[in-house]
Amino acid sequence: LLLKRIYYSIGGGFVVSEEELQRMKAKGSVTTEGRRVPYPFKNAVEMLAMATKSGLSIAEMKRANEEKHMSREELDAGLDAIWGAMKGCIDRGLSQDGIMPGGLKVRRRARQLHDKLQEQWHQNRPNP
């Protein structure tokens, strides 16, 4: 064994190394069970009830929970990074043909499907 590294998914699309996680714990910026947030919930029923009670959207509650433990700027930077990665995947999918990376030999279809939908865009007829 030449190298061993451990990575953790910490939610929100974020993955950190064990070393990064330790630094985050030391700073107090890691999500842990029992952390205090303004809008805690364990399931969708609780979340929807809390949204009704608070008058906030789910997105507004989640933002308030996240901003309890990080600045608005840190949260926005993290969300921007997630969006950038997602958009990059979409752009690659819509611009490339052939076989996807990896050993499964899956043929890329997104570009072909997108092009077909774009051609049909103005041909849609309303339902009777």
Looking at the structure of the chain, the number of domains it has is 3
The predicted-structure confidence for 101-127, as pLDDT tens digits, reads as follows 889 999 999 999 999 888 888 776 665
Classify residue 106: in a domain, yes or no: yes
Classify residue 10: in a domain, yes or no: yes
Q: What is the pTM of this model?
A: 0.58
Q: Which SS3 state, helix, strand or coil, does residue 12 take?
A: coil
Higher pLDDT, 91 or 41: 91
Quick one: pLDDT at residue 72? 95
Domain that holds residue 27: 1-32
pLDDT-based confidence at residue 32 (cuts at 50, 70, 90): very low
Residue 35 in this model has a pLDDT that exceeds 80: no
Please tell me whether residues 21 and 5 are part of one structural domain: yes
Higher pLDDT, 31 or 19: 19
Query: Rounded to 5 degrees, what are φ and ψ at 119?
Result: -65, -35
